[in-house]
Amino acid sequence: MSKRLYGLDLLKIIAMIFIIGLHFNFRTGALANFPFTDGRFYPTGISEAIFYVSVDCFVLVTGYFDIVKKQVNVKRLVHLVLAVWFYSWVGLLVGLMAGARPSLNQLLMCALPFTTEHFWFIDVYLILSLLTPFINKAIADIDQKGYKGILLVSFIGFSVLPSLMPFASEIFSINGGANIVWFVILYLIGGYLRLYNPFERVSSKKLVLGFTGLSLITFTVKLASQMLVAFLFSGKHIGGGVAVSPQFHYRYCRGSVAFCCDATTQQKRQ
């Protein structure tokens, strides 16, 4: 792939904005504090449903580019580790200069960022990167039908069942998406998009409508959960963004990448 895909660059920019939005909602307590009877529940709930796909998009893009590679880019991983350490220490120093008094646990998080859940994404991403040569070799030995079968089983086992059946959430638990299993699934989806381009004939308009519709479905399920809890347990409500599992976004993650790829294709044709 010699030419830069500006559509995917746009996707990463949008995903980063979504991540900032997620953290804003979480840090302000908006997701935990507003019951569905409060008008503020709706903008925060809808924004969460839209933003939740953000982290997954970065893994999808990784799969899109790396599925054809045979070796790990060790230099890139070393740069990533050093960057995390650098900004972790810089953040600590800035905080100390501003008069912050961090606890011992916070100091350890800054000094050893890869030993805590604070940097969970980097930890899981590094493991995924080390696994990619083995994943790619396995995928190279199967045809499109077999690849589809893997994605279908993954979709049912790690998305449909956990979203619809409470017991399945325990059996197929992937820690809300912060798990190497879910990252591998996303990587495989991104790779499938690169190898077979299943959305080639789907218009950008339909992809946007699909993304919007699935986001609204996700919010509707959350709202229904709130109402059910309020009905069963008077005066109670669910906070913290509890609704369907993030795996539910399996399909519209694919649509997000496909939309941006389509935008790039259209740009080249013009």
Question: 204-233 pLDDT, tens per residue?
Answer: 889 889 989 988 988 888 888 778 877 776
pLDDT at 241 over 80: no
Structure tokens at 47: 């924004």
Closest by alpha carbon to 220, among 18, 42, 21? 42
The pLDDT confidence band at residue 255, using thresholds 50, 70 and 90, is very low
Residue with more model confidence, 65 or 249: 65
Q: What's the average model confidence in pLDDT over 3-19?
A: 88
pLDDT of residue 35: 77
Reported confidence tier of residue 33, pLDDT bands at 50, 70, 90:
low
Mean pLDDT, the chain, integer:
80
Residue of higher predicted confidence among 107 and 242: 107
Using the predicted structure, report yes or no on whether residue 252 has a pLDDT greater than 60.
no
Distance CA 129, CA 106 (A): 27
Q: Look at 230 and 65; give whichever has higher pLDDT.
A: 65
* pLDDT value for 243: 38
Residue 192 has a pLDDT of 96
Do residues 61 and 8 touch, judged by C-beta distance below 8 A? yes
| Res 227: pLDDT | 83
Question: Would the pLDDT of 58 be above 90?
Answer: yes
- Give pLDDT tens digits for 137-184: 999 999 999 999 999 999 888 887 777 776 656 667 777 778 899 999
